[in-house]
Structure 1
Amino acid sequence: MQNIHIATTIKLLCKVRGISINAFLKECELTKSFIYDLEKRNASPSADKLTKISNYFDCSVDYLLGRTDNPDSHKK
């Protein structure tokens, strides 16, 4: 279930920021099947991938994982 949340959050962040999923995947050097794998295959992203994604969107990993509703929780 957490992986589906990650995929949903990524889609939302792309939509809010006006970024296509393909552009996001390319910029983060992720495979084209990354989102599908999260949603349908219940694949778990590595810590490295989560870090790349959080850096790309400038949000916390906790936000991607659904541990907080505040994407800026990593900022002091």
Structure 2
Amino acid sequence: MEEVSKRLRDLREDGDYTQSQIAEVLKIQRQMYRRYESGETDLPIRHLKTLCLFYHVSSDYLIGLSDDHSEVYK
């Protein structure tokens, strides 16, 4: 869970996005996204899929099963 939270934050910051902007992509409130990023709440699969497509990364990368950032989905 900690790995997912860190990668969520890192991807967001690398893209210069705010939590509010990512929450908008997910169609949720910022407070809910903050809970995903802080590790307070598990990221649902539907949001995992959306974020993988948004950031062009694999789910394996996002959940920490792979460190290969080049496994990009388009």
Q: Name the TM-score class by shorter chain.
A: 0.7 to 0.9
Q: What is the TM-score of this pair, normalised by structure 2?
A: 0.76
How high is the TM-score relative to the length of structure 1? 0.75
Residue identity (%): 11
Please show how residues 1-76 of structure 1 align to structure 2 within 5 Å: 2=1, 4-38=2-36, 39=38, 41=40, 43-75=41-73
What root-mean-square deviation, in Å, do the aligned CA atoms of Structure 1 and Structure 2 show? 1.9
Q: Matched residues in 1 for 2:34 and 2:67: separation?
A: 23
- Structure number with the bigger relative contact order (C-alpha 8 A, sep ≥ 6) is 1
The answer (yes or no) to whether the contact 1:9–1:64 under 8 Å persists in 2 is: yes
User: Runs of 5+ in structure 1 lacking a partner?
Assistant: none
Q: How many residues align?
A: 72
Q: What is the CA–CA distance in structure 1 between the aligned matches of 2:18 and 2:50, rounded to whole Å? A: 17
Deviates more, 1:27-36 or 1:62-71: 27-36
